[in-house]
Amino acid sequence: MKFYDRQFALDYDRRLSAEGYPGNLLDEVASRIKGAGRIIDVGAGTGFFTAPLARIGHRVEAVEPSQWMAALLEEKLEGEARGRVRVSVVPWEDWSGDRADALVCVHAIYPMKDTRAALRKMSEYAAKSVLLVKSDVGTLSLAELLRARFGGGHGGSGVFRTQVTDALDVIGLDYEVHNVEQIRVTRIADLDEESEYFRRHLGLEEGMGPEVRRVLEEVCARDKQGYSFRGVYHDVVITF
Protein backbone atom coordinates (compact mmCIF):
# COMPACT_ATOMS: atom_id res chain seq x y z
CA MET A 1 0.00 0.00 0.00
CA LYS A 2 1.37 3.44 -0.92
CA PHE A 3 0.72 4.80 2.59
CA TYR A 4 3.68 2.75 3.82
CA ASP A 5 6.00 4.02 1.08
CA ARG A 6 8.79 6.49 1.88
CA GLN A 7 8.19 8.54 -1.28
CA PHE A 8 4.49 8.83 -0.49
CA ALA A 9 5.30 10.16 2.99
CA LEU A 10 7.67 12.77 1.56
CA ASP A 11 5.17 13.79 -1.15
CA TYR A 12 2.33 13.98 1.37
CA ASP A 13 4.24 16.20 3.78
CA ARG A 14 5.64 18.49 1.10
CA ARG A 15 2.35 18.91 -0.73
CA LEU A 16 0.20 19.69 2.31
CA SER A 17 2.85 22.00 3.77
CA ALA A 18 2.87 23.97 0.50
CA GLU A 19 -0.91 24.44 0.81
CA GLY A 20 -0.70 25.83 4.34
CA TYR A 21 -2.43 22.77 5.76
CA PRO A 22 -4.05 22.27 8.25
CA GLY A 23 -5.13 25.92 8.29
CA ASN A 24 -8.35 26.53 10.21
CA LEU A 25 -8.91 22.79 10.63
CA LEU A 26 -6.46 22.94 13.53
CA ASP A 27 -8.67 25.50 15.29
CA GLU A 28 -11.74 23.34 14.62
CA VAL A 29 -10.06 20.38 16.30
CA ALA A 30 -8.37 22.30 19.13
CA SER A 31 -11.61 24.04 20.14
CA ARG A 32 -13.35 20.68 20.53
CA ILE A 33 -10.70 19.14 22.79
CA LYS A 34 -9.98 22.21 24.90
CA GLY A 35 -9.07 21.20 28.44
CA ALA A 36 -8.13 17.65 27.50
CA GLY A 37 -4.84 16.69 29.10
CA ARG A 38 -3.98 13.52 27.23
CA ILE A 39 -5.17 12.88 23.68
CA ILE A 40 -4.76 10.16 21.08
CA ASP A 41 -4.09 11.17 17.47
CA VAL A 42 -5.22 8.24 15.31
CA GLY A 43 -3.46 8.13 11.96
CA ALA A 44 -1.19 10.99 12.97
CA GLY A 45 0.62 11.08 9.63
CA THR A 46 3.56 13.47 9.59
CA GLY A 47 2.32 15.43 12.58
CA PHE A 48 0.19 18.23 11.17
CA PHE A 49 -2.02 17.99 14.27
CA THR A 50 0.19 16.16 16.78
CA ALA A 51 2.98 18.76 16.74
CA PRO A 52 0.87 21.93 17.21
CA LEU A 53 -1.41 20.27 19.77
CA ALA A 54 1.67 19.27 21.78
CA ARG A 55 3.01 22.82 21.52
CA ILE A 56 -0.12 24.20 23.20
CA GLY A 57 0.18 21.78 26.09
CA HIS A 58 -1.61 18.54 25.20
CA ARG A 59 0.10 15.23 25.86
CA VAL A 60 -0.30 13.25 22.65
CA GLU A 61 -0.20 9.55 21.86
CA ALA A 62 0.44 9.59 18.10
CA VAL A 63 -0.70 6.34 16.49
CA GLU A 64 0.66 5.99 12.95
CA PRO A 65 1.17 2.76 10.97
CA SER A 66 3.79 4.13 8.54
CA GLN A 67 7.35 4.26 9.82
CA TRP A 68 8.16 6.93 7.23
CA MET A 69 5.28 9.16 8.27
CA ALA A 70 6.22 8.67 11.93
CA ALA A 71 9.85 9.60 11.23
CA LEU A 72 8.81 12.89 9.62
CA LEU A 73 6.47 13.55 12.55
CA GLU A 74 9.29 13.17 15.06
CA GLU A 75 11.44 15.62 13.09
CA LYS A 76 8.81 18.31 13.75
CA LEU A 77 8.94 17.93 17.53
CA GLU A 78 11.08 20.47 19.35
CA GLY A 79 11.62 21.64 22.91
CA GLU A 80 8.90 20.86 25.43
CA ALA A 81 6.61 19.52 22.73
CA ARG A 82 8.96 16.59 22.15
CA GLY A 83 8.50 15.46 25.74
CA ARG A 84 4.71 15.56 25.42
CA VAL A 85 4.50 13.15 22.48
CA ARG A 86 4.78 9.39 22.34
CA VAL A 87 4.74 7.81 18.88
CA SER A 88 3.37 4.30 18.36
CA VAL A 89 4.13 2.89 14.90
CA VAL A 90 1.17 0.55 14.60
CA PRO A 91 -2.27 0.47 12.91
CA TRP A 92 -5.11 1.74 15.08
CA GLU A 93 -6.76 -1.66 14.95
CA ASP A 94 -3.69 -3.22 16.64
CA TRP A 95 -2.89 -0.44 19.11
CA SER A 96 -3.51 -0.78 22.84
CA GLY A 97 -2.88 1.67 25.65
CA ASP A 98 -4.49 3.82 28.31
CA ARG A 99 -7.79 5.64 27.95
CA ALA A 100 -7.40 9.33 27.06
CA ASP A 101 -9.38 12.51 27.65
CA ALA A 102 -9.91 12.99 23.92
CA LEU A 103 -9.11 11.46 20.55
CA VAL A 104 -8.68 12.98 17.10
CA CYS A 105 -8.74 11.16 13.78
CA VAL A 106 -8.20 13.40 10.76
CA HIS A 107 -8.68 11.81 7.33
CA ALA A 108 -7.33 8.54 8.69
CA ILE A 109 -10.36 6.27 8.82
CA TYR A 110 -10.45 5.65 5.05
CA PRO A 111 -8.16 2.58 4.93
CA MET A 112 -9.68 0.94 8.02
CA LYS A 113 -11.51 -2.18 6.90
CA ASP A 114 -14.10 -2.27 9.70
CA THR A 115 -15.42 1.25 10.28
CA ARG A 116 -17.77 0.20 13.06
CA ALA A 117 -15.05 -1.63 15.01
CA ALA A 118 -12.65 1.31 14.61
CA LEU A 119 -15.24 3.79 15.91
CA ARG A 120 -16.26 1.56 18.79
CA LYS A 121 -12.61 1.29 19.82
CA MET A 122 -12.29 5.09 19.68
CA SER A 123 -15.27 5.49 22.01
CA GLU A 124 -13.76 2.96 24.42
CA TYR A 125 -10.34 4.64 24.55
CA ALA A 126 -11.40 8.29 24.84
CA ALA A 127 -14.04 10.31 26.62
CA LYS A 128 -14.56 12.37 23.46
CA SER A 129 -13.62 11.74 19.83
CA VAL A 130 -13.28 14.24 16.98
CA LEU A 131 -13.27 12.67 13.53
CA LEU A 132 -12.75 14.48 10.22
CA VAL A 133 -13.65 13.13 6.79
CA LYS A 134 -13.62 15.04 3.54
CA SER A 135 -16.66 15.88 1.47
CA ASP A 136 -16.34 15.99 -2.30
CA VAL A 137 -19.41 18.25 -2.54
CA GLY A 138 -18.22 21.67 -3.66
CA THR A 139 -14.56 20.66 -3.50
CA LEU A 140 -12.24 22.09 -6.13
CA SER A 141 -8.74 20.63 -6.01
CA LEU A 142 -5.99 19.76 -8.44
CA ALA A 143 -6.31 16.10 -7.49
CA GLU A 144 -10.02 16.03 -8.35
CA LEU A 145 -9.52 17.89 -11.64
CA LEU A 146 -6.76 15.52 -12.69
CA ARG A 147 -8.73 12.48 -11.53
CA ALA A 148 -11.65 13.62 -13.69
CA ARG A 149 -9.31 13.90 -16.67
CA PHE A 150 -7.18 10.77 -16.24
CA GLY A 151 -8.91 8.58 -13.67
CA GLY A 152 -6.76 6.86 -11.09
CA GLY A 153 -6.56 7.28 -7.35
CA HIS A 154 -9.78 7.18 -5.42
CA GLY A 155 -12.71 9.55 -5.49
CA GLY A 156 -16.12 9.85 -3.92
CA SER A 157 -14.88 9.87 -0.34
CA GLY A 158 -17.94 11.88 0.68
CA VAL A 159 -19.51 8.47 1.26
CA PHE A 160 -17.46 8.22 4.45
CA ARG A 161 -19.74 10.69 6.23
CA THR A 162 -22.63 8.28 5.77
CA GLN A 163 -20.50 5.26 6.67
CA VAL A 164 -19.39 6.93 9.89
CA THR A 165 -22.78 8.23 10.98
CA ASP A 166 -24.51 4.95 10.10
CA ALA A 167 -21.92 3.06 12.15
CA LEU A 168 -22.36 5.42 15.10
CA ASP A 169 -26.13 4.91 14.91
CA VAL A 170 -25.69 1.14 15.06
CA ILE A 171 -23.25 1.40 17.97
CA GLY A 172 -25.70 3.69 19.75
CA LEU A 173 -23.44 6.72 20.18
CA ASP A 174 -24.69 10.31 20.07
CA TYR A 175 -22.80 12.61 17.71
CA GLU A 176 -22.71 16.09 16.23
CA VAL A 177 -21.88 16.98 12.62
CA HIS A 178 -20.33 20.26 11.48
CA ASN A 179 -19.25 21.29 7.97
CA VAL A 180 -16.07 23.29 7.40
CA GLU A 181 -14.88 25.07 4.25
CA GLN A 182 -11.26 25.95 3.56
CA ILE A 183 -9.65 28.03 0.84
CA ARG A 184 -6.01 27.03 0.32
CA VAL A 185 -3.69 28.55 -2.30
CA THR A 186 -0.89 26.31 -3.51
CA ARG A 187 2.23 27.92 -4.95
CA ILE A 188 3.99 25.63 -7.43
CA ALA A 189 7.73 26.17 -7.55
CA ASP A 190 8.50 23.41 -10.04
CA LEU A 191 5.77 22.35 -12.49
CA ASP A 192 7.64 19.21 -13.56
CA GLU A 193 8.02 18.09 -9.94
CA GLU A 194 4.34 18.79 -9.31
CA SER A 195 3.37 16.81 -12.41
CA GLU A 196 5.39 13.82 -11.24
CA TYR A 197 3.82 14.05 -7.79
CA PHE A 198 0.32 13.83 -9.23
CA ARG A 199 1.33 11.08 -11.63
CA ARG A 200 2.47 8.99 -8.65
CA HIS A 201 -0.48 10.05 -6.49
CA LEU A 202 -3.03 8.98 -9.10
CA GLY A 203 -1.16 5.79 -9.97
CA LEU A 204 -0.64 6.81 -13.61
CA GLU A 205 1.93 5.12 -15.81
CA GLU A 206 5.46 6.44 -16.12
CA GLY A 207 5.70 8.79 -19.05
CA MET A 208 2.36 10.48 -18.26
CA GLY A 209 4.10 13.41 -16.57
CA PRO A 210 4.02 15.71 -19.65
CA GLU A 211 0.27 15.16 -20.09
CA VAL A 212 -0.33 15.93 -16.42
CA ARG A 213 1.79 19.05 -16.81
CA ARG A 214 -0.36 20.26 -19.72
CA VAL A 215 -3.48 20.03 -17.55
CA LEU A 216 -1.76 21.87 -14.70
CA GLU A 217 -0.82 24.65 -17.11
CA GLU A 218 -4.49 24.88 -18.16
CA VAL A 219 -6.03 25.10 -14.68
CA CYS A 220 -3.38 27.00 -12.70
CA ALA A 221 -3.01 30.77 -12.57
CA ARG A 222 0.32 32.23 -13.58
CA ASP A 223 2.05 35.41 -12.50
CA LYS A 224 5.61 36.69 -12.13
CA GLN A 225 6.18 34.32 -9.20
CA GLY A 226 5.11 31.26 -11.15
CA TYR A 227 2.03 29.03 -11.00
CA SER A 228 -0.62 28.86 -8.29
CA PHE A 229 -3.95 27.15 -7.69
CA ARG A 230 -6.81 28.28 -5.45
CA GLY A 231 -8.39 25.18 -3.99
CA VAL A 232 -11.69 24.88 -2.14
CA TYR A 233 -11.96 22.06 0.38
CA HIS A 234 -14.92 20.85 2.41
CA ASP A 235 -14.53 18.73 5.51
CA VAL A 236 -17.05 17.14 7.84
CA VAL A 237 -16.30 17.22 11.57
CA ILE A 238 -18.05 14.45 13.49
CA THR A 239 -17.82 14.64 17.29
CA PHE A 240 -18.96 11.75 19.48
Q: Tens digit of pLDDT for each residue in 49-60?
A: 999 999 999 999
Report the percentage of the chain scoring pLDDT > 70.
96
Query: Residue 28: is its pLDDT beyond 80?
Result: yes
Q: Residues 83-92: what's their mean pLDDT?
A: 98
**What is the rounded average pLDDT for all residues in the chain?**
94
Residue 4 binned pLDDT confidence (cut-offs 50, 70, 90): confident
Q: Tens digit of pLDDT for each residue in 125-179?
A: 999 999 999 987 888 999 999 999 998 655 555 568 999 999 999 999 999 999 9
CA dihedral 78, 79, 85, 87 (to 10 degrees): 40
pLDDT at 83: 97
pLDDT at 227: 95
Q: Tens digit of pLDDT for each residue in 196-207?
A: 999 988 989 999
CA 214/CA 27 separation, integer angstroms: 36
Q: Cβ contacts of residue 100 below 8 Å, gap of 6+? A: 36, 38, 39, 40, 61, 125, 126, 127
pLDDT at 1: 53
Contacts 24+ apart (CB under 8 A), 164-172: 164/109, 164/115, 164/119, 164/131, 164/133, 164/238, 165/238, 167/115, 167/116, 167/119, 168/119, 168/238, 168/240, 170/116, 171/116, 171/119, 171/120, 171/123
Query: Residue 193: is its pLDDT beyond 70?
Result: yes
Q: Residues 119-126: what's their mean pLDDT?
A: 98
Query: Residue 3: is its pLDDT beyond 80?
Result: no
Instruction: Give Cα separations from 160 to 66, 102, 119, 150, 166 (angstroms).
Output: 22, 21, 12, 23, 10
pLDDT at 152: 65
Query: Residue 185: is its pLDDT beyond 90?
Result: yes
pLDDT at 160: 86
pLDDT at 19: 86
pLDDT at 153: 55
Domains of the chain: 2-136+154-183+233-239 (3.40.50.150)
